[in-house]
């Protein structure tokens, strides 16, 4: 594994445009369960709660599950070492962009600035009647389904439901990154969900070197990945950081 870590670190050090593509796996060590796999949320909850048609037809039932998963569960999660290393890489100009499928806001809380959220963000709610946006606060969810304080319209989390389009800005940023990245770092994704899952193969087609971090193989590992760092995000990013951020003289 150390040889692979060294090879991955060398690619990252020599890259002029590096993109990190993150999935639910990067937030597992922050206490947020993934969607798939043995402890996956979809083993205990029906993904229909995130289907836009179901949400509009049964807002109260949908909101009961959404509140449990994304607000009660996720609420007090904090960034872990993997998020922090990515933020430090950005500060040192070793990372140019993060495309995340996650809605947990942990990249931003770790200090990353160039983050594009392919599936939106759970920290904002939007009124489906007057389009007023609200920052999440527990008070908004005291009564379900939550109503707009301004017009009493139905509030929806500002993340992408199944059956909804990907917002244009992150979609463009993702395809742009796939075209111009020298190195593409996939962290913690099964590669199950379109259209996000077509981004890494596109990066490979455009000549990017693909590094993947995951404790298990994914849909990318055999067909897209060049360097597979088999392990948890925190530990693998820590090993990369030991090479990428050598202690400088003034640190001693
Ligand atoms: N470190 C790194 N990867 C991990 C860790 C960890 N500690 N723990 C689990 N993983 C990996 C799993 O092996 C799996 O490959 O994270 C991945 C999680 O897969 P998914 O739950 O399918 O997450 P993701 O690929 O992001 O799902 C994509 O599906 O339900 C939708 O909108 C939702 O954005 C989500 C999308």
Q: What is the pLDDT of residues 199-227, one digit of tens each?
A: 999 999 999 999 999 999 999 999 999 99
In a domain, 23, yes or no: yes
Provide residues with CB under 6 Å of ligand 1. Answer: 23-26, 28-29, 34-37, 40, 101, 119, 188-190, 192-193, 213-216, 218, 232-233
Question: Has this prediction a pTM greater than 0.85?
Answer: yes
Ligand 1 atom with the smallest distance to the CA of 118 is 34
In a domain, 92, yes or no: yes
**What CATH number is attached to the domain comprising 20?**
3.40.50.1220
Active-site amino acid positions? 119
In a domain, 44, yes or no: no
> HSE on the CB side for 26, CA within 13 Å?
30
- CA distances to 3, 12, 31, 78 from 137, in Å: 47, 39, 20, 17
Cβ atoms 213, 184 nearer than 8 A: no
In tens digits, the chain (252 residues) has pLDDT values of 799 999 999 999 999 999 999 999 999 999 998 989 888 988 888 888 899 999 999 999 999 999 988 898 777 899 999 999 999 999 999 999 999 999 999 999 999 999 999 999 999 999 999 999 999 999 999 999 999 999 999 999 999 999 999 999 999 999 999 999 999 999 999 999 999 999 999 999 999 999 999 999 999 999 999 999 999 999 999 999 999 998 876 665
Ligand 1 atom with the smallest distance to the CA of 42 is 30
For residue 87, the CA-to-ligand 1 centroid distance in Å is 20
In a domain, 156, yes or no: no
Ligand 1 atom with the smallest distance to the CA of 29 is 7
Position 72 scores a pLDDT of 84
Closest CA to 241 of 8, 42, 31: 8
- Which of 20, 30, 32, 34, when mutated, tests ligand 1's pocket best, judged by the most ligand atoms within 8 Å of its CB? 34
Position 245 scores a pLDDT of 95
Ligand 1 atom with the smallest distance to the CA of 24 is 26
Total domains in the fold of the chain: 1
In a domain, 82, yes or no: yes
In a domain, 127, yes or no: no
Closest CA to 153 of 134, 129, 121: 129
Q: At what angle do helices 81-91 and 233-244 cross, to 10 degrees?
A: 30
For residue 119, the CA-to-ligand 1 centroid distance in Å is 13
Residue 193 CA, chain-centre distance (Å), reads: 13
In a domain, 100, yes or no: yes
DSSP 160: P
In a domain, 140, yes or no: no
For residue 41, the CA-to-ligand 1 centroid distance in Å is 10
Query: What are the backbone angles phi and psi of residue 77, rounded to the nearest 5°?
Result: -70, 145
State the residue range of the domain holding 225.
1-31+78-119+166-246
Position 251 scores a pLDDT of 64
């Amino acid at each position: 594994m150390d040889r692979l870590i060294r090879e991955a670190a060398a690619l990252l050090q020599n890259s002029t445009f590096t993109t990190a593509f993150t999935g639910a796996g990067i937030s597992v060590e922050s206490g947020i369960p993934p969607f798939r796999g043995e402890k996956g949320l979809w083993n205990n909850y029906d993904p229909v709660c995130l289907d836009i048609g179901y949400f509009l037809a049964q807002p109260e039932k949908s909101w009961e599950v959404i509140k449990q998963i994304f607000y009660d569960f996720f609420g007090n999660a904090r960034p872990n070492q993997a998020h922090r290393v990515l933020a430090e890489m950005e500060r040192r100009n070793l990372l140019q962009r993060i495309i995340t499928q996650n809605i947990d806001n942990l990249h931003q809380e770790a200090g990353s600035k160039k983050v594009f959220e392919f599936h939106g963000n759970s920290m904002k709610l939007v009124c489906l009647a007057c389009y007023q946006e609200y920052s999440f606060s527990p008070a908004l969810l005291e009564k379900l389904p939550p109503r707009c304080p301004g017009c009493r319209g139905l509030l929806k989390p500002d993340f992408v439901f199944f059956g909804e389009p990907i917002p244009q800005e992150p979609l463009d940023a993702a395809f742009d990154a796939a075209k111009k990245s020298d190195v593409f770092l996939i962290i913690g994704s099964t590669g199950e969900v379109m259209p996000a899952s077509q981004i890494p193969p596109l990066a490979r087609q455009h000549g990017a070197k693909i590094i993947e971090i995951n404790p298990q193989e994914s849909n990318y590992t055999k067909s897209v990945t060049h360097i597979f760092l088999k392990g948890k995000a925190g530990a693998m990013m820590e090993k990369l950081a030991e090479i990428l951020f050598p202690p400088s003289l003034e640190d001693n």
